Amino acid sequence: MKQVAVITGAASDIGRGLAERFAAEDMAVVLADIEAKPLFTLETDLRAKGATVLAVQTDVSNADSVENLAVQTYNTFGAVHILCNNAGVVCSRPIWEHTLADWEWVLGVNLWGVIHGIRTFVPRLLAQETECHIVNTASILGLIRGPGEGIYKVSKHGVIALSETLADDLAHKNSKNSGACVVSWVGTHRYFNLCPKPSRY
């Protein structure tokens, strides 16, 4: 049975890179993105290379949409071994000039997207009783201060705090099958080793 990876924000950038790498490792890949055209183009491209792929158009800011992603994934493959809460957007201007819509959009995708991913998938991962890994994409801007990109910084600070707490909660539960890791991306990537890396990967 193939190992299964779920990637949100899979149609471009980091997400696409993750999908291509997991497919190259002969994993089944579940692609989730709100942008239909690049999402299904990537699905076609990966299948042409022999990959096992499921594409599900998903709005990570919407709990029901993420639930649909989980249902389709488990109906198709029966398990998930890597969950990458990766979808992200940015809006850059002085923080007092951001509209309410700006706040709702960026926090909805960047922070609530991770929250929905955790609430929806982690109970299922724990029930599998198999080794799993959760990767939440953050940013160096979740660790530093400075002018500009205020909402983005707020969201990524939140993702880091959320991921650290998730790792601690899993450790407190003495869960041997699931761990959490946050990834900070700034040109190259840095790993915060919040949990043991599953041996399969």
Cite the active site residues.
152
Give the C-alpha separation, 169 to 144, whole Å: 25
Instruction: Report how far residue 151's alpha carbon sits from residue 97's, in angstroms, rounded to the nearest whole number.
Output: 11
Neighbour count for residue 117 (Cβ, 10 Å): 25
Query: How big is the chain by its Cα radius of gyration, in Å?
Result: 16
Backbone angles phi, psi at 13, to 5 degrees: 55, -130
- The CB density around residue 181, as the number of other CB atoms within 10 Å, is 18
